[in-house]
Amino acid sequence: MTFTPRVFSGIKPSGDLHLGNYLGAIRRFVPLQDTHETLYCVVDMHAITVWQAPEDLKRWTYEIAAAYIASGLDPGKSIIFNQSQVMEHAELSWIFNCVARMGWMERMTQFKDKAGENSENVSLGLFAYPSLMAADILLYKATGVPVGDDQKQHLELTRDIAKKFNHDFRKQIKDLGFEEEFFPITETLATGPAMRVKSLKDGTRKMSKSDASDTSTIYMMDDAGTIARKIKRATSDAAPLPETAQGLAGRAEAENLVGIFAALSNRSLDDVLGEFGGRGWGAFKPALADLAVAVLAPIAGEMARLVGDRSEMDTILRDGADRARAIAQPTMDQVRRIVGFIR
């Protein structure tokens, strides 16, 4: 059986959006609208796996939906919605909690990083989080998921859950008239530069919504002066820029800044270094700041307009949720029958 080419991705409303979210995810969502059915979700149910003040949760939910649209997602083409309006996500994730094995979940590095020393005291939801993520994706039988590098392990788990479900229920799936798999084996779409944008202060750490240091992160809503100041103060090294991408090996901060430049300008690392190789940071950083402002400022302006119009945003999100539900409900009906729930 062939599956409809369909893309799903999501972002958690748990902090202000940053350049890593833009380059690793949002920017790459846009061209997929022309080749696939696309669903882009604001995953508010994921956000509450750690404490969120309800007013912040709402504000960030609107902000992400606005960023999607301001970056070029067209609500006429893509289904844009927030997760909690489609309750089938929660229902399927419960079934997946009963498919996924403890051992699989315990191997999730993101849980270990987030829980840290405090693993006895984090929410049960944080542990089960990857199973909800698998439900997000498989509820729509998505064939591809664009994400940054840090989500790759969760996508592997999604494939494991799909395979185990297809295997455990193969008789019921066949009885329902399916020739082969019920769920697709979803592909991770994570290639290109800037799949892991690093902190501006430490080239070994990823740029993150929850970073305590404000200067390490460029936020999508930062103004031009703030962006320029953060880039100027970004950690670099003493050597001039190398002539080719190979020369970036072992220079994490340089690799990060050149990678950001390449991604923002849609050029290869070698092409960027063809221009800046042999020159110092005093030449490169102002050019990077200008480029970042040229790309981000128009998006930030449109985001500000959209978040100011909550009733327009509510209409878009409600319409998106209706369209998402129309895909999710027939699948969920079949899942219930496959599992053996009486209706």
Looking at the annotation, which residues are catalytic?
A: 114, 206, 209
Three-state helix/strand/coil letters over 121-187? CCCHHHHHHHHHHHHHHHCCCCCEEECCHHHHHHHHHHHHHHHHHHHHCHHHHHHCCCCCCCCCCCE
Shortest Cβ contact with ligand TYM: which residue? 24
CB of 155 to ligand TYM, least distance (A): 8
Question: Which residue in the set 80, 207, 299, 327 belongs to the binding site for ligand TYM (CB under 6 A)?
Answer: 207
Q: What is the DSSP string of 269-285?
A: HHHHHHHHTT--HHHHH
Output phi, psi for 284, to 5 deg: -75, -45
- What span, in angstroms and rounded, lies between the C-alpha atoms of 166 and 315? 37
Q: Which two tokens stand for residue 107?
A: 């191997």
**Residue 206: CB atoms within 10 Å:** 16
Decide whether 130 or 247 has the Cβ nearer to ligand TYM: 130
Residue for token pair 């061209």: 31
Is residue 99 close enough to count as binding ligand TYM by CB under 6 A?
A: no
Question: Which residue in the set 6, 7, 11, 48 belongs to the binding site for ligand TYM (CB under 6 A)?
Answer: 11
- What span, in angstroms and rounded, lies between the C-alpha atoms of 10 and 320? 14
Decide whether 150 or 312 has the Cβ nearer to ligand TYM: 150
Of 60, 51, 48, nearest in space to 13 by CA: 60
| Maximum C-alpha span of the chain | 70
Is residue 28 close enough to count as binding ligand TYM by CB under 6 A?
A: no
One character per residue 129-168, x = contact with ligand TYM (rule: CB under 6 A): ----x--xx-------x-xx-xx--x--------------
CB of 278 to ligand TYM, least distance (A): 28
CB of 268 to ligand TYM, least distance (A): 18
Is residue 196 close enough to count as binding ligand TYM by CB under 6 A?
A: yes
Decide whether 192 or 240 has the Cβ nearer to ligand TYM: 192
- Binding-site ranges for ligand TYM (CB under 6 A): 8-12, 20-21, 23-25, 43, 46, 133, 136-137, 145, 147-148, 150-151, 154, 195-197, 206-207
